[in-house]
């Protein structure tokens, strides 16, 4: 189990270093244009990370509705199961 933990941390370190080098190599400013000739100049790496975070947040927001609906259905089914278990079923009469 210890080897798997070390391997997991090594992979995380590699991914972090890869992203760090990518961000350092792409630090040139880019211009993001909006409507009415409004523009921002930000580093490319910051733009990429911002778009990624926005995508993750949007995905979590979309999945939250599905998750709450599934929890509600699960709670209803659990209640129905408890009610069914509470009802005594008469056995065959001998």
Mean pLDDT on 25-49: 84
pTM: 0.55
In-domain check, residue 92: no
Q: Terminus-to-terminus CA distance in the chain, angstroms?
A: 58
Domain hosting residue 69, numbered range:
2-86
The answer to whether residue 55 sits within a structural domain is: yes
Nearest residue to 48 via CA among 17, 23, 20: 23
Domain assignment present for residue 60? The answer is: yes
> How many separate domains does the chain show?
1
- Is 61 among the domain residues? yes
Query: Which of the four pLDDT bands, split at 50, 70 and 90, describes residue 38?
Result: confident
pLDDT tens, residue by residue, 53-91: 899 999 999 999 889 999 999 999 999 888 888 777 666
Q: Would you say residue 91 lies in a domain?
A: no
The answer to whether residue 43 sits within a structural domain is yes
What residues form DSSP beta bridges with 41?
31
């Amino acid at each position: 189990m210890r080897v798997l933990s070390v391997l997991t941390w090594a992979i995380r370190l590699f991914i972090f270093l890869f992203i760090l080098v990518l961000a350092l190599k792409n630090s040139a400013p880019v211009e993001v244009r909006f409507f009415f000739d409004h523009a921002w100049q930000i580093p490319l790496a910051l733009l990429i990370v911002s778009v990624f975070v926005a995508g993750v947040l949007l995905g979590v927001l979309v999945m939250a509705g599905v998750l709450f609906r599934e929890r509600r259905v699960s709670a209803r089914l659990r209640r129905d199961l408890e009610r069914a278990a509470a009802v005594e079923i008469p056995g065959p009469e001998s």
